[in-house]
Structure 1
Amino acid sequence: MLDVRRLRLLCDLSRLGTIAAVAQAHTYTPSAVSQQLSALEREAGVALLERTGRRVTFTTAGRILVQHAEVVLTALEQTTAALAALATGLSGPLRIGAFPTAVRTLLPAALVALGRRHPELELTVTELDPVTVPDALRERRLDVGLLHDYDVVPIEPDPVLDTVPLLDETVFLAVPGTAPAAEETGPLRDVRDAAWIMASPGTLCHTVTLHVCRSAGFTPRARHHADDFAAVLALVAAEQGVSLVPQLAAAQPPAGVRLIPLSIRRRTHIAYRQGAATHPAIAAFVSAIRASTGAFLGR
């Protein structure tokens, strides 16, 4: 019989590439991960990995087992969801991951509604950049998460996660109120020489800003880096530069900021592991966050 925990380690090795990365993800030592994978090979009765020094590569059998293991793990999620549906009332932990703007605007009302309807649920929120949410779900550090991408920088779907759409919003160019009026046909070209307020390198927002500006024919000159949109808008109001801001963060801009709508869209999805859609706690969260999103947007 193949051990499920070891199958998860094998799948994580396929995704992360090194035993050291798997160990870090699970807070194990590399030696412990190697021992577990060796035990899995004994259970399987075939070599799953080829070891050359510190490097490991998958054998044909290893690659086949990873494919089947993903199916097994999805089936286990479905089984857990089916059993949870038989319970009377919702209880236990529900670990939620979301990006800062959603934590500030959409999540509070959803958490209040969930707490009232299901007081036995143990709700925990972790603020994360969307690019880190898929790994956190895979590694079971989260049960459900909010992630987003932009139509100009789409992200390939994760093969072991399911998503449902939550929000599609306009992206604005935020400029100081004292700035000359921009041409509607090319507002980005009018700020090519401006200082920019950008997110931290490595974040999705930083990548999107670089892509958008380079597509308009220039590379933005970053003066400040800030990941919180409230801080970004405050800096714009102080005439420290210009920035890209999504609709969710621009609902109540400070005085001294002018917002110019662009054709760019930011798309937010609710994500969870495949097979978990029918879990009552996941379904309850999806319903609550959709209701709070509609209320926030006045729908």
Structure 2
Amino acid sequence: MELTRRGTITAVAEALGYTPGGVSQQIAALEKATGMELLRRVGRRVELTDAGTTLACHAERILATEAEAVEALERSRNEVSGTLLIGLFATAAAEILPPALQRARRVHPGLTVRSRDMDVDEVYDAVAGGAVDLALGLDYPGVPIPRDPALRVVPLSRERFSLAVPAGSMAGRERVSLADTGELGWILPSAGSYYGRAVRTACRRAGVEPRVLHEVTDTAATLALVEAGVGVSTVTDLMLRLRTSCLDVVALREPLERNIVVVFRSFAERRPTVAALVEVLRTAADRRRDAPERLGL
């Protein structure tokens, strides 16, 4: 089924956490069990045979039936109970999950939540492939994540980016345009990442190509480099809380934003445990968003 969605053995292996050889062995075992050829080589690629396509369609039904059985078993209990595995990225692990877990223990004591740290761009595939039950991810309105009909993406909160600059380098400026950053050196993730693509796209819409001096994925390392005076980068309030830094933050004229989302498989939407944890995450996000207003900030 994953091969119909992703097209290559390598992509299937990455999504499911196998080696390419492991995927090939699984398919070979299926061919032996069915007595039919499921894959054929076309040039340097492989594609499903008619029998393989038929089996993939039935595999989808089988997995959906399994999900319905799990949902029915969960509903037969008198409380929300069970174990869920959630995938999350570094910022979510530090700022979003802890208060959510505290609330989950309080309102659903029978629910056990385990977590797995992963690259933020991998969480969608991890959910789609069943490696985790649900995940916290990021979506950028300017460069949205491709929507998979097999997944549900629920927004939790929206953050606006500002520009992090070395201390004193823009003294007296309360707001800056991306169009004014053409001569500055940038610290950004690679252009292949959704975040890196979103910032580059916003800069190009403003008529400037960012001069990227350092390609860095880790937020704390990025803030350290800005603090050292080697370049500028975009940041949100949530990102700034990962590391205490001596730098300046200047508002951007352009509305560069990101959404923090929770992702889960569509057929798991009615599972009591999944629905309960999604609601806990939404409540935690609402309280975090409202906190500055309660403090009068």
Q: Give 5+ residue unaligned stretches, structure 1.
A: 1-10
| Contact 2:157–2:289 (8 Å) recurs in 1 | no
Q: How does the TM-score come out when normalised to structure 2?
A: 0.82
Match of 1:295 among 267, 287, 293: 287
Residue deviations 1:168-223 (CA, integer Å, cap 9, x gap): 22122222342235595x61121111111112453322222222223333332223
Q: How does the TM-score come out when normalised to structure 1?
A: 0.81
Match of 1:270 among 262, 265, 284: 262
Separation in structure 1 between the aligned mates of residue 229 and residue 13 of structure 2, nearest angstrom:
46
Q: Which residue of 2 aligns with 1:86?
A: 76
Counterparts in 2 of 1:95-106, with a 5 A limit? 95-106=85-96
| Contact 2:74–2:81 (8 Å) recurs in 1 | no
Separation in structure 1 between the aligned mates of residue 215 and residue 105 of structure 2, nearest angstrom:
36
SS across alignment from 1:213:
helix
Q: CA deviation at 1:75?
A: 3.8
Counterparts in 2 of 1:181-200, with a 5 A limit? 184=175, 187-200=177-190
* 153-162 or 49-58: bigger deviation: 49-58
Q: Give 5+ residue unaligned stretches, structure 2.
A: 292-297
Q: Which residue of 2 aligns with 1:6?
A: none
SS across alignment from 1:125:
strand
Q: Which residue of 1 aligns with 2:46?
A: 56
Q: Which residue of 1 aligns with 2:248?
A: 257
Q: Which residue of 2 aligns with 1:35?
A: 28
Aligned residue-pair number: 285
Q: CA deviation at 1:275?
A: 1.3
Q: CA deviation at 1:55?
A: 4.2
Match of 2:206 among 190, 199, 216: 216
Q: CA deviation at 1:36?
A: 2.8
- The 3 A distance-change label for structure 1 pair 31 and 283 is closer
Q: Which residue of 2 aligns with 1:133?
A: 123
Residue deviations 1:251-274 (CA, integer Å, cap 9, x gap): 697443123133122122211112
Separation in structure 2 between the aligned mates of residue 18 and residue 33 of structure 1, nearest angstrom:
14
Q: Which residue of 1 aligns with 2:112?
A: 122
- The 3 A distance-change label for structure 1 pair 31 and 194 is closer
Q: Which residue of 2 aligns with 1:203?
A: 193
- The 3 A distance-change label for structure 1 pair 60 and 34 is closer
- The 3 A distance-change label for structure 1 pair 256 and 245 is closer
Aligned AA (2:179): R
| Contact 1:162–1:272 (8 Å) recurs in 2 | yes
- The 3 A distance-change label for structure 1 pair 219 and 77 is same
RMSD of aligned alpha carbons:
2.9
Q: CA deviation at 1:284?
A: 1.8
Aligned AA (1:33): Q
Separation in structure 2 between the aligned mates of residue 61 and residue 81 of structure 1, nearest angstrom:
30
Aligned AA (1:275): F
